[in-house]
Chains A and B, each alone.
Chain A
């Protein structure tokens, strides 16, 4: 601190001395002032030396829109304080000072040579660890203004929007998972791969078949429905018919997940791919405080509409009730005249289609990769559990909470490299207070 003060005072005095004789006329000069030192810059100081290491400094006045500061003297010393070399900045504010060999040097600025009216903050010395054969650069920040940090409220809005978007994407997958769990009591560990399926299907339809992304998404959802149908027909229904328990089914799903995941890698490869449209988009302002890129707005609207329609339909329609009935008691459902297999099949179709949509939106939001769904799986599980396993609106509520925690948490001190942690800790806390999930209900005893 005291050092800074000293530097400032001496710089100020130096300026006074320099400015005094020039008087009022000095302000007229828009071009670099024709001071004596910068009249004819020494050649070797203004172009980088051909070989051998050197130290380079560019002095720009940030307060003056980055105008260069010519004519300033810089000295280079060895760490022990021996003078090594010296240079004066040229018209572009640059100076290149050759040094005998690589090593550590101290570069200092001579404040007395600074032009008048310059705000100089910070130390006049830099220790340069010159490791490189060519230029080793140092910098002096001159006239730097305070950086304008984005206000907290604005960051909160951005984070919240990010959370809503992410939450909605998760919610689609979570609803799919919850439907399947709710009806079959199967904890489906291959659900992540169904998300990936949606993304890859979108990619294939878009890049492979050349469909515009919007149609590719529709195609992916349809493909998801077909995939759900086939999955049920080929895998899950035969298992049900054999009377295999839910735990065994869960293990089958682990195996199936592994199987699909690496089939994806086998055919699709390990790298990330992107869709042909909606890559980088700038954000527009809505309502004065909401900043969203068009694709983000699209994702939010599509996801919200689909979720609402599906949830309401499930609450109101016979199929929705049948799903819950089958979940409770398949034998009794059959006794009531439901085609249990049919109900379960519709659930697989609907659940996989929703999940595929989630994957497709995720592909638009970010990219396509064979692991993307697997990485999301834990959050989807967390969301479903948080809301209450098997409750329709629970998936939605849980996902929104997870999404928001995920994106807003870092604003409140969760290290962003492990931002899942915040969401997961809250998950555990909520389970402690409501062991049945937020919308879940306790069972009666006795």
Chain B
């Protein structure tokens, strides 16, 4: 049993690119759900159009990389508008279903055999990330003992954490402003806001676009760091996990999504390594009759589920959340 390795992999994941993807997506969800109360369960869809926007432009249409990035950023905005115009009228729970359905539709279409020429079917697309990789200034990895990254990850992380930081600053600046106040009041009662002369639809649309844009950025970043887009990456499960990250950190808090994503991946990776080690080798820590190594990787997910439940039970407002706010609708 090598506890050092458990910690290393946990910390590396918490800081690594995968956590960044979740942080970016969760920042978007925070704008949607945390501040505006839009129950968007289709964040994976926003990510998918961002990623596919880039990949299709570069691979299928053979346009330059930077145009791909531009289109990847436009795509979630367009999706937000197309999706928002009809659905922003819906009540929160109906909106959730409409967005979940949209994300699934997108994913299925991206993966369909019928459109294989454009989207690459279930295999997805790859071969658009060269330019990004060529910019990598690091020639070697980093090993600080407790965290360890390869050169390409370091580059992804530099870009990724910069994006996350910029995102947080933007969210912070926006949410303390009257604009943010309008969003938060829409979360409480749309009609009241309307009666005060605010164009609720317009604000909701702005929030949907902004949050969707962060989703798109998460998707593009995902696509770049992994150098391939595959439709199954953008399933509902991803959105669930992103929500998990958001709520661990605490909704409607600027740093909530970031810290949440880090904790989520710390646990996912740490537990995975721990149980992987505990069940492998000639004389495993946990005897095989109790747990086989196949079961070990399942246990991690069981524990994540359990942890999520316990967190919500004992700290329903998340790490940063405000307990007082929750108590309001208690009765």
Choice from A252, A254, A257 contacting B313 with Cβ under 8 Å? A252
Segment among A65-73, A110-118, A198-206, A241-249 that sits at the interface with chain B: A241-249
Instruction: Kindly supply a per-residue 1/0 record for chain A positions 253-286, scoring 1 wherever the CB is within 8 Å of any chain B CB and 0 otherwise.
Output: 0111111111101100000000000000000000
A187 touching B93, Cβ below 8 Å? yes
Min CB–CB distance A111 → chain B (angstroms): 39
How distant is the Cα of A53 from the Cα of B128 in the complex, in angstroms?
43
Segment among A29-37, A99-107, A157-165, A422-430 that sits at the interface with chain B: A422-430
Known A-B contacts A420-B108, A421-B109, A424-B105; the reply to A431 vs B90 at CB < 8 A is: yes
Min CB–CB distance A197 → chain B (angstroms): 15
B236 touching A378, Cβ below 8 Å? yes
- Is A445 close to B, CB under 8 A? yes
- Is B299 close to A, CB under 8 A? yes
List chain A residues, Cβ under 8 A from B97.
Answer: 381-382, 385, 427, 431
Instruction: Kindly supply a per-residue 1/0 record for chain B positions 244-272, scoring 1 wherever the CB is within 8 Å of any chain A CB and 0 otherwise.
Output: 10010001000000000000000000000
A415 touching B304, Cβ below 8 Å? no
How distant is the Cα of A331 from the Cα of B329 in the complex, in angstroms?
12
Instruction: Kindly supply a per-residue 1/0 record for chain B positions 76-101, scoring 1 wherever the CB is within 8 Å of any chain A CB and 0 otherwise.
Output: 00000000001101110110111011
List chain B residues, Cβ under 8 A from A446.
Answer: 191
List chain A residues, Cβ under 8 A from B251.
Answer: 247
- Is B330 close to A, CB under 8 A? yes
Instruction: Kindly supply a per-residue 1/0 record for chain A positions 383-427, scoring 1 wherever the CB is within 8 Å of any chain B CB and 0 otherwise.
Output: 001000100000000000000000000000001011011001101
Instruction: Kindly supply a per-residue 1/0 record for chain A positions 370-383, scoring 1 wherever the CB is within 8 Å of any chain B CB and 0 otherwise.
Output: 00000000100110
- Is A436 close to B, CB under 8 A? yes
A445 touching B191, Cβ below 8 Å? yes
How distant is the Cα of A265 from the Cα of B305 in the complex, in angstroms?
14
The secondary structure that dominates the B interface is helix
Within 8 A of B (CB), among A13-40: none
List chain A residues, Cβ under 8 A from B1.
Answer: none
Number of interface residues of A (CB under 8 A): 48
How distant is the Cα of A333 from the Cα of B330 in the complex, in angstroms?
15
Shortest Cβ distance from A265 into B: residue:
B298
Min CB–CB distance B127 → chain A (angstroms): 25
How distant is the Cα of A308 from the Cα of B331 in the complex, in angstroms?
36
How distant is the Cα of A248 from the Cα of B113 in the complex, in angstroms?
39
Known A-B contacts A255-B244, A258-B305, A445-B191; the reply to A385 vs B298 at CB < 8 A is: no
Most interface-central of B113, B295, B312 (chain A CB within 10 A): B312
Query: B-side interface residues toward A, CB under 8 Å?
Result: 86-87, 89-91, 93-94, 96-98, 100-102, 104-105, 108-109, 111-114, 191, 236, 240, 243-244, 247, 251, 295, 298-299, 301-302, 304-309, 311-313, 316, 326-327, 329-331
Q: Contacts A243-B331, A244-B326 given; 15 further ones with Cβ under 8 A?
A: A187-B96, A242-B316, A245-B316, A251-B243, A251-B308, A254-B308, A255-B307, A263-B302, A265-B298, A378-B236, A389-B93, A420-B104, A420-B108, A424-B104, A435-B91
